[in-house]
Amino acid sequence: MSPPAEKPVLQQIRDLLPRAASPSLVFPPAKFAVVDGSVLLEEERFELFGHGFFYPIKIGDVYDGRFQVLGNLALEPRRPSGWLATSSTEHTYVALKIFARDTRAGDDKMAENEFAMYEIVRKGKRSHPGYHHVPKALELFKLEGPGGGIHWCLVQKPMASRLLGESLLKGVIRHVLLALDYLHTECKLVHTDIKLDNILFKLPKQEGTATRVLDEFAQNEMKSPSPGKIVNGMPVYRTRLLGAVRDTGRTVLSDLGAAVPGDVKRTEQAQPDIYRAPEIWDMVEGRHLFKGHDPERNGYSTHAHLAEVVALLGPPPLDLLKKGRRSRDFFTADGQWQAGIEIPDMTLENSIKEIGGEKKASLLAFVKGMLQWRPEDRKTAAQLLEGPWLIGEYGIARR
């Protein structure tokens, strides 16, 4: 492959000179189509919305003197993913994550804590192959709410989502494991919230297809404003889906909002109930391995979830039970199940529906490397990268 043509000297000089801020887009005066008050929009479904803790974002407004909001961005239907905006100083598109103002103890530090995690990631070892599979934060700034209080805003590069066919699946899982190996070994962080929503794809450098998709988003908003309504004096908009991006960049494991230091001992629950390991199951099977449905409670319970784990793995070893503060809530002194709910009739082998034959056996061995009672018995991300199922018939090297 021939090297890229060198830019003319004058163009190189221009690139080094500071550029004037881009002018803001002028949105047409046309009002958005009003959504009926009985219809809940995506933002209204969040618990904190009804408490008045959300910032009243208005499409077309400019925040911090630089960022003009173009729309309520969704990478998947009906799943808000932040706000797409332009940066007048960087002359590019950005994604804004605006935090709710929460009065609960400690929650006012959520944005700062998340930004601190991104800073740890940014300052890590760039030569590690997982470095580029974890997104970085561009900056963090404050917005003062109309009723007082501070709303933090995290600025990142826009990303995309795409369907994962079988041909892409192993490559995506490999990239996720590289990201995890980087977080675990170089940053000493645990993600704790791995799920399909947080596995995204970098857009190519903002030229060609990527720019067209983002430009189309902005143009469509100006031509046909997103439907919305006013709730308690606050504008609320229906999300707008980002157009399809055929050629995406690297897979990234996004959203470090729930990440925690891995070298600090913790006993509290770190993950959402249904996304407790192995989250990779959702990618392979398109469904959760564990449901934790308790018929008596007509919903999730730890007892039902643990019963499913016992069904797949057998009872935990006694030495592990002796370390647990709540072990006797579920097991007798000699390790027998006593949680008052039946252990379901299920096996790991029968739980795999989408893959058969030799591929199934190889996948089972891969998953069993993660599904171990003792943490020290579980394979690390680096070890999983060397697994036969992931390397497969092509002998793809780990890095």
Among this protein's residues, is 193 annotated catalytic?
yes
Continuous H helices in the chain:
9-16, 110-122, 166-181, 209-223, 280-285, 302-313, 318-321, 327-330, 348-351, 357-368, 381-384, 388-391
Other Cβ atoms closer than 10 A to 57:
21
User: Which residue in the list 15, 102, 193, 255 is annotated as catalytic?
Assistant: 193
Other Cβ atoms closer than 10 A to 33:
12
Strand partners, 240: 73
Q: Is the peptide bond before 278 cis (omega within 30 degrees of 0)?
A: yes
248 touches 258 (CB < 8 A): no
For 305-344, b where at least 16 C-beta lie within 10 A, e where not — what string? bbbbbbbbeebbeeeebeeeeebeebbeeeeebebebebe
Distances (CA, A) of 119 to 153, 187, 192, 227, 363: 15, 10, 18, 37, 35
> Torsion angle, CA of 211/213/219/222, rounded to 10 degrees?
-120
Q: Which residues are catalytic?
A: 193
